[in-house]
Amino acid sequence: MSPKGIEEIQNRSVMAGFFVLNSRVIHICALMKLLKKLLKIAFLSITLLLLFLIIIGGGFGEKEYPKNSALYSNELLLFAHRGDFTSAPENTMEAILSAKQKGFIAAEIDIQESADNRFFVFHDVHGKRLLSTTDTPFKTNLEDIKNHHVYFRKKITSSRIPSLEEVITEFGDSTIFYFDMKGYGSKNGLELAEGINTFLEKYNVRNNVLVASISTAFLFYLEFKYPETHTVLEGLDVGNEWLYYLIPKKFRPDFLGGRHENITEKHINWLKKNNMMNRKVVFSVKEKNYSQTIEWGFKKIIVDYGNYLDSTLSNTVKQK
């Protein structure tokens, strides 16, 4: 082939490459324009949704709380963590009874929902630690769950997992409860909220119960639709307090809950500034950090029972 022919082929190849490149650039520019348009639509949609939620949520600002409820008083209120699990298996009827006998007027218990949509009192996801079984309680019908005996200090006992109905029937009139809602399983937050509201209504114990969760969807829905329910949002601790201001009033939980180890001087100052010291529930409190929790000024405390509490509990009984 002559040099002229080779040059012509080269020129054609360059032109073909140029057209391919140009076509790809045009295609990329079109995609970028489409993406930009979609982002604008998404931004506008999210903005409108947020505005809608703010409007129906009552806007921002201070929320009103009951003035005559023991739950909102400045008196010290100690919740027995899973009942008195030093004397009986945790979260059982026997543990709650023992806590009552030692002077507690309040108890923290863990709530799950069984496969047949009945509430029961149990902490763990699996049954290995307390039931010595591979069964997953929330995937089981309540009557089958109750066939298991609960272990205590690695020994089997006569205690069984109680239904929430049994607990409230026995202790509901004389005990303030902290329901730590465990959202195990596939049930969504809205269905769980409807279920616990139906229960509170049926047994008329709403004014004696704090309903707690780390799930914002569950709590926001419960607070918005059933504002008479007393709710606790767990996990809003030091460093993310600013999120509290973004929650519209009608969605905003009544209390905040957090671990003792996540409390700092900065967080305490924020609570005081916002008049929330009596609406902060502190948990993971034991003998080694109880005195510090009291010195900080907290009034709602979930504690592990020990002899160190006897004088305080004795005074509580006398006051009652």
Tell me the per-residue pLDDT of 249-282, one tens digit each, with 9 for 90 and over: 999 999 999 999 999 999 999 999 999 999 999 9
Phi, psi of 30 (to 5 degrees): -65, -40
pTM of the model: 0.83
Question: Percent of the chain scored above 90 by pLDDT?
Answer: 68
Q: Give the pLDDT confidence score for residue 31 in this predicted structure.
A: 75
Q: Which CATH number fits domain 70-319: 2.60.120.10, 3.40.50.1000, 3.40.50.360, 3.20.20.190?
A: 3.20.20.190
| 259 vs 243: CA distance, rounded Å | 18
Which of the four pLDDT bands, split at 50, 70 and 90, describes residue 63? confident
**Does residue 136 register a pLDDT over 60?**
yes
Quote the longest CA-to-CA distance of the chain: 114
| 30 vs 51: CA distance, rounded Å | 32
Tell me the per-residue pLDDT of 150-162, one tens digit each, with 9 for 90 and over: 999 999 999 999 9
Residues 68-106: b if buried by 16+ CB within 10 A, e if exposed = eeebbeeeebbbbbbbbbbebbbbbbbbbbbbbebbbbb
- Work out the average pLDDT over 70-99: 95
Give the residue extent of every domain in the chain.
Answer: 1-56, 70-319
